A = this chain, B = another copy of it.
Amino acid sequence: MFTHNKKLQYTVRVSEPNPVLASLILEQFGGPQGELAAAMRYFTQALAEDDPGRKDMLLDIATEELSHLEVIGSIVAMLNKGVKGELAEATQTEADLYRSLTQGGDSHTQGILYGGGPALTNSSGVPWTAAYIDTIGDPACDLRSNIAAEARAKIVYERLINVTDDAGVKEALGFLMTREIAHQKSFEKALYAIEDNFPPGKLQGIPEYADLYVNASQGEGDAEGPWNAGPQWRRLDDVVGGVPVDGGDGDASVGLTRSEQSDLSSFAARTMSNPAINPRTGAELGKSGAA
């Protein structure tokens, strides 16, 4: 069960309203690398988790991410505080309001549609979607997903810090960025505390394909590194000559009943593109001067 205390985890001091900056910062409120995505990623994992250590850790971090959602949302709310009142009370001229809403970013939609409140969209106004969440219910995968997600969130905070010169905003973003680093460390520990975590799952790979590197892109720029060269790798350079790798005919086939075959034959005959004719086409009808 969740409870809430009205203090923020980190104090938010914004120097002055700036709806364009607000719209950039939405990236971490309702964007793919933002705090709702983080909270929901870990919370959904926690609900299905049976390992006591991981379950506790996932609940701890999910809960903290909700508190970060509150911090980042409060920054957005402060940055939009000016436009909120102006749009509701309309004491400025229309032209002034129009100008203040069309200076850049996605601030126009934040004002007109959301009235200056923080909306669960990214910086382009795209509504948050659970398609951002990659939880699949296997810990050796989900922890890797969490590690990657924390790394991404760290960088988006870094970019926001780089474009902001409001000292209070910068400071709060720095705190949030640092917490992603700490969370990544926790998830790393939990992953490697699974003593047999690679490959994930129970099935082992088929040996002949597990150390094969397919050099599918060739030409100037072909390069070597530990990811495709060295004793552990078998490398396939004659890619076309080497298919199919299973030694079969490289076709797709299926066993069909006579009735299924008959239907498919009828369909094929009825819809054949006859290669032997050169039909007059709509494009030809549509060319200037065609009759």
Given the known interface contacts A108-B105, A199-B181, the answer about A226 and B12 at a Cβ–Cβ threshold of 8 Å is no
Are B285 and A120 in contact (CB-based, < 8 A)? no
Q: Which B residues lie within 8 Å of A113 (CB)?
A: 27, 31-33, 122-123, 136, 156
Segment 141-180 of A: residues with Cβ below 8 Å from B: 141, 144-145, 147-149, 151-152, 154-156, 158-165, 171, 174-175, 177-179
Copies of this chain assembled into the complex:
6
B4, B13, B56, B260: which contacts A1 (Cβ < 8 A)?
Answer: B4
Q: Measured between alpha carbons, how far is A205 from B177 in the docked complex, in Å? A: 7
Q: Which chain B residue shows the least CB distance to A250? A: B7
Task: Compute how far the CA of A281 lies from the CA of B285 in the bound complex, rounded to whole angstroms.
Answer: 7
CB distance from A97 to the nearest CB of B (A): 5
Residues of B within 8 A of A2 (CB): 2-4, 63-64, 66-67, 70, 216
Q: Are B148 and A186 in contact (CB under 8 A)?
A: no
Residues of the B chain whose Cβ atoms lie less than 8 Å from the Cβ of A218: 3-6
Interface bin, chain A = 35 or more
Which residues of the partner chain B approach A267 to less than 8 Å between Cβ atoms?
50, 84-85, 88-89
A74 to B47, CA, bound (A): 6
A38 in the interface (beta carbon within 8 A):
no
By a CB distance below 8 angstroms, the chain B residues around A175 are: 206, 209, 245-246
Contact of A216 among B17, B60, B164, B281 (CB under 8 A): B60
Residues B1 and A286 in contact, CB atoms below 8 Å apart: no
B162 contacts A94, C-beta separation under 8 Å: yes
List, in ascending order, chain B residues with CB within 8 A of A275's CB: 53, 193, 223-226
Restricting to A92-142, which residues have a CB under 8 Å from any CB of B?
92-95, 97-98, 101-106, 108-109, 111-141
CA distance A284 to B185 in the complex (A): 9
The reply to whether A255 and B3 form a contact with Cβ atoms under 8 Å apart is no
Alpha-carbon gap, A28 to B86, bound state (A): 20
Q: Do A263 and B91 touch (CB < 8 A)?
A: yes
Contact check, A5 vs B5: say whether CB atoms are below 8 A apart: no
Known: A60-B216, A119-B135, A139-B273. A24 touches B108 (CB 8 A): yes
Q: Which chain B residues lie closer than 8 Å to A120 at the CB level? A: 40, 44, 130, 133
